[in-house]
Chain A
Amino acid sequence: MLAMGTEGGKNGYVGLILVSHSASIAQGVAELVAQVAGEEVPIVAIGGAPDGSLGTDGGKVLEALREAATGHGAVVLMDLGSSVLAVRAAQGELSPTELERVVVADAPLVEGALAAGVVASTGASAHEVATAAQEARVANKL
């Protein structure tokens, strides 16, 4: 797990939690977002199974969501399959108060994280950040 900036949105900005099957993907997206959005947005990148192979570590996902819920909150983006299942399972473990601060975005990981990061860097709320991420579903590239 790679933490960029301060943890869990404690510096006043909503953070991003990126969940991928691959540690390299999660970390690479985090680096891209930091470069475009700036270093002030806290990003936690979670990728790979506990043994380092491709997969998802549900424990790390839950830990990251819990941590984010204690700060200014976070928006969660994930790639697909077991990443989505792990995030949903972790949501099931959170209290209603924690769930208000951790918003899961139904969005493409790379484009959604970029949009979310830029909006988060303006000091927007978790819901505004998640909405920006979800706009990535319809944004044209050409």
Chain B
Amino acid sequence: MPTSSERIAVLPDEVALHARPAGAFVKDAARFESSIAVAANGKSANAKSILEVLGLGATGGTELTLSASGDDAAEAVDHLATLVAQLVE
């Protein structure tokens, strides 16, 4: 049964969600079946779209809201929240 799941993750202070970190994030998001959104700065992006994620303009220390809907929703947001916390430049 599809479920919804949501978690907040905070970008490390020194890591913006720009090209390389965003690439790592999107590639991992794409491994899940669930649809996943990432919101920051009042904007929401499809977590599987590199251009939308880059368009968030999330800088270091920004709070990201990860929400997923689908069979692996909980696993997806847990995995991505961990990844966000561990991102490096």
Within 8 Å of chain B (Cβ to Cβ): is A119?
Answer: yes
Within 8 Å of chain A (Cβ to Cβ): is B79?
Answer: no
- Please indicate the chain A residues that have their CB under 8 angstroms from the CB of B27 in the complex: 37-38, 118, 121-122
Known A36-B20, A37-B27, A38-B23: A132·B49 in contact at CB below 8 Å: yes
Most buried by B among A118, A122, A140: A118
Within 8 Å of chain A (Cβ to Cβ): is B26?
Answer: yes
Segment of B50-58, B65-73, B80-88 engaged in the interface with chain A: B50-58
Q: How many residues of A contact B (CB 8 A)?
A: 19
Least CB distance from A20 to B in Å reads: 19
**Set B19, B30, B55: member contacting A36, Cβ < 8 A:** B19
Whether B50 contacts A141 by the Cβ 8 Å rule is no
**Dominant secondary structure of chain A at its interface with chain B:** helix
Least CB distance from A35 to B in Å reads: 6
Whether A118 contacts B26 by the Cβ 8 Å rule is yes
Task: Name the interface residues of B12-27: CB closer than 8 Å to any CB of A.
Answer: 19-20, 22-23, 26-27
Task: Name the interface residues of A102-142: CB closer than 8 Å to any CB of B.
Answer: 111, 114-115, 118-119, 121-122, 132, 135-136, 139-142
Least CB distance from A131 to B in Å reads: 11
Interface residues of B (CB under 8 A from A): 19-20, 22-23, 26-27, 30-31, 49-52, 54-55, 57
Q: How far is the CA of A121 from the CA of B28 in the complex (A)?
A: 10
Whether A115 contacts B31 by the Cβ 8 Å rule is no
Least CB distance from A13 to B in Å reads: 12
- Please indicate the chain A residues that have their CB under 8 angstroms from the CB of B51 in the complex: 111, 114-115, 135-136, 139
**Across the two chains, which residue of chain A brings its CB closest to B31?**
A122
Q: How far is the CA of A113 from the CA of B3 in the complex (A)?
A: 33
